[in-house]
Amino acid sequence: MGVDAEKEITKLWRDLHSAQDEICKTYYRWREVAVEMAGPGVKPLDVALKAAEKMGKEIGKSFLPRLNWLKGEDVFLLSLGRLMAGLWLTEGGIAAAEKGDKPGEVLITCTRCPWPSAAKEYGVPMEEVALTRLRLFESLLEDVSVFFNIPLKIEMLKAIPRGHGVYLLRLYKANGGGK
């Protein structure tokens, strides 16, 4: 019996999209429970930012074996930017990283992000979506900065949940590629 490659690829593609959809939904289900369990005085944004910080730290640690300073600062930063853009790809987004206009600067763009749609479904404010994504990336950089002894920073220039139609983040070495 032969294998219908097109049918198998279509099934895998559908399964991938279902799994990507569940990433966001599971996070927001968890958020609802955590806010409920924390009690009436808790701010949902504080819970979300703490979660983003925890996730970012873990992701940053997982990036360490994939990063290498031996090819120089520009290659290192671009590799790191690509790993960060890859998070959106894993979640079902469309993202890329490229060298910025200034030395020691990488621009990370995301033109399709699944998080605002999922957040809307769960009644989460759009500003929270932008702030948690930024906090995730900031905390991700903490251990990378310490491990490589390079002060790294990231700033959000544009955000889909803020109505810009695209995420644009600027990754740079704090004492070299700053403003």
Q: Which domain holds residue 44?
A: 5-173
Write down the pLDDT at residue 21: 79
Write down the pLDDT at residue 176: 53
Domain count, the chain: 1
Write down the pLDDT at residue 83: 97
Write down the pLDDT at residue 177: 46
Write down the pLDDT at residue 106: 98
3-state secondary structure the chain: CCCCHHHHHHHHHHHHHHHHHHHHHHHHHHHHHHHHHHCCCCCHHHHHHHHHHHHHHHHHHHHHHHCCCCCCHHHHHHHHHHHHHHHHHHHCCEEEEEECCCCCEEEEEEEECCHHHHHHHCCCCHHHHHHHHHHHHHHHHHHHHHHHCCCEEEEEEECHHHCCCCEEEEEEECCCCCC
- Burial environment of residue 8 by CB neighbours within 10 A (0 to 12, 13 to 18, 19 or more): exposed
Quick check: is 117 in a domain? yes
Quick check: is 75 in a domain? yes
The dihedral built from the CA positions of residue 62, 67, 69 and 70, taken in this order, carries a sign that is: positive
Quick check: is 86 in a domain? yes
Q: Which residues of the chain have pLDDT under 50?
A: 177-179
Token digits for 64? Answer: 């360490």
Write down the pLDDT at residue 126: 96
Name the pTM for this structure. Answer: 0.88
Distances (CA, A) of 42 to 32, 80, 81, 82: 12, 34, 34, 35
Quick check: is 179 in a domain? no
Helix axis angle, 44-63 to 5-38, nearest 10° = 130
**CA 115, CA 132: separation in Å to the nearest integer?**
10
Quick check: is 178 in a domain? no
116-128 pLDDT, tens digit per residue, is 999 999 999 999 9
Write down the pLDDT at residue 125: 97
Token digits for 145? Answer: 């900065």
Strand order in the sheet with 167-173: 94-99, 105-112, 167-173, 152-158
For the domain that residue 135 is a member of, what is the CATH number?
Answer: 3.30.1380
